Chain A
Amino acid sequence: MSQMLEMNQQTAKPEAMADESKQSKELFRALFYRSPIGTYIVQNGHFRLVNRQLAYISGYEEDELIGRPSLGFVLAEDRDIVRENALRMLKGECSLGYEFRIVTKQAKIKWVMETVAPVLYQRKRATLGSLMDVTERKLVEERLRQSTLEIQRSNAELEQFAYVISHDLQEPLRMVSSYTQLLAKRYGNKLDADADEFISYAVEGAKRMQTLLHELLEYSRVGTRGKPFSLVNCEHVVDQAMANLKIAIEECGATVSYDVLPTVLGDEGQLVRLFQNLIGNAIKFRREQPPQVLISAQRRQHVVTFSVQDNGIGIDPQHSQSVFEIFRRLHTTEEYPGTGMGLAICKKIVERHGGHISVQSQPGKGSTFYFTINMAGGESA
């Protein structure tokens, strides 16, 4: 642009030059004075030229600003930011879009974003600045940051709460459980039939509560006691999960097979738990025929989608969301034992790995659980 101007100056006739110069001046005036961005020229630290938008942002009249020191309305704590960027500009480095606070004539604090560039004004070095009011955006950002912090804090508190509850309740529960068992052992068949029945309900209740607490503890540990992520071979993970389920698999003659599975970034112990719960469910909720479980994986860019497909009893689609809630059970303990924590733990593990879990199923035709693992590593919390 400047080169073109120079060429024009060399070749153009004097009257054309005058014409051009007039046009440039008009263009400059239009840009400068009508800009929706606060624009100004500062020389020796003082405003020489300001536009209406700068006056509007600062709360001063335009002629009140002329001759004032430009740092004057910058909030004292933020003046270093402005000085630093002025120095950067002088060294020819980038100095645009930095943010600081100003104090308006009405003593109101506003957030602004400024960009500066060196120019010549009346043949002397000067700074051309442009400034935008970003107070609204800053407030929204701050509110967002606050609510994110608040959510993180309350999540951590909930996890801690669940942990403390499940951990500290175990001691008194052990007393209840041990002494009801001792009662049963020493006085079983020595009192009347009612006593035996009451004792057996107390023993059963204590045992059940113990299992619930154990699972709740495990659930809370997914977040609080997880290991750092490392590269994990998912075929080894599934092998390990199957080894843990060996007895159950053999008892019902289940076939568990898997396609080529990738290596992912994750917490190995938790991934074993995840597959173990899903394969365990596929075996537990079986129909008459021996269970068949197929595990496969598909990778698309950074996301691996795993599927665990079975030929079991299936899940009514209306429950396809709620099965992942804690203590959610769709059957009585007589039909299928369990605490209703298995899939809640799965969901928590998957989410810690930056993924989602879902199920597609038709009652009587089997279920397929899908979950994703983000290769870029999850753990946003």
Chain B
Amino acid sequence: MSTQTARRPADILVVDDNPGDVRLTVEALRDGEMQNSLHTARDGAEAIAFLRRKGKYGDAPRPDLILLDLDMPRMGGLQVLAEIKKDAALRDIPVVKLTGSQEIEYIVKTYNLHANCYVTKPIDLEQFITMVKSITNFWLTIVNRQRRTAN
């Protein structure tokens, strides 16, 4: 932890087709002590374009953390996860699967595709806020990771 005392603000990519959920994540991170910039993609195709800096995402930063929803139109969450984890340039970015589903088969599939963790969105607001803070705190502060910048 001591190695990251003066860390730069983290870039978090939230991939979710539900604006309500994106906003909740923004709200949860808002009163955090960390300075983070939040980027959003509304579906899997947009997320991949962002990560590969395609089209309008030419200047997109390399995220330090990806929060990925499961059910999305166009490219589903599992497919996005598979894309990221087979790409040598992207696979070290922690991907947190954040969904409303507790279906055991999705959980198993998610870990088999090398997601860094699977979290169910709590219904209770306070729990949701705590969850988002814990995740960002864990992946951006507690764990030791070589954070790469855009090259």
* Residues of A bordering B, CB below 8 Å: 167, 170-171, 173-175, 177-179, 181-182, 185, 210
Give the contact-size bracket for chain B: 10 to 19
> A178 near B24 (CB under 8 angstroms)?
yes
A181 vs chain B, min Cβ distance (A): 4
A170-B100, A182-B27 known; A177+B124 contact, CB < 8 A: yes
Q: Are B18 and A171 in contact (CB under 8 A)?
A: yes
B121 interface contact, C-beta 8 A:
yes
Inter-subunit contact B123/A210 (CB<8 Å): yes
Chain A residues near B128: list those with CB within 8 A: 178
Contact assessment for B27 and A174 in the assembled complex, using a CB-CB cutoff below 8 Å:
no
A167 to B20, CA, bound (A): 18
User: Which residues of the partner chain A approach B21 to less than 8 Å between Cβ atoms?
Assistant: 175
Partner of B20 from A170, A175, A181, A185 at Cβ < 8 Å: A175
Other-chain residue from A167, A171, A173, A181 in contact with B126 (beta carbon distance below 8 A): A181
- Give residues in B with beta carbon < 8 Å to A: 18, 20-21, 24, 27, 100-101, 103, 121, 123-126, 128
A107 nearest CB across to chain B (Å): 54
Closest to A179 in B: B20
Whether A178 lies near B101 (C-beta < 8 A) is: no
| A181 with B100: CB separation less than 8 A | no
Instruction: List 23 interface pairs A-B (beta carbons < 8 Å), by A numbering.
Output: A167-B101, A167-B103, A170-B100, A170-B123, A171-B18, A171-B100, A174-B100, A174-B121, A174-B123, A175-B18, A175-B20, A175-B21, A177-B125, A178-B24, A178-B125, A178-B128, A179-B20, A179-B24, A181-B124, A181-B125, A181-B126, A182-B24, A182-B125
| Cβ–Cβ contact A178 & B123, under 8 A | yes
Query: Distance in Å from the Cβ of B102 to the closest Cβ of chain A?
Result: 9
Min Cβ gap A253→B in Å is 30
Residues of B within 8 A of A173 (CB): 123
Using A174-B123, A178-B125, A179-B24 as known contacts, list a sample of 9 further A-B pairs with CB atoms less than 8 Å apart, ordered by residue number in A.
A167-B103, A170-B123, A173-B123, A175-B18, A175-B21, A177-B124, A179-B20, A181-B125, A182-B125
Q: What 10 pairs across the A-B complex have the smallest Cβ distances?
A: A181-B125, A175-B20, A171-B100, A178-B125, A174-B123, A210-B123, A177-B123, A178-B24, A170-B100, A182-B125
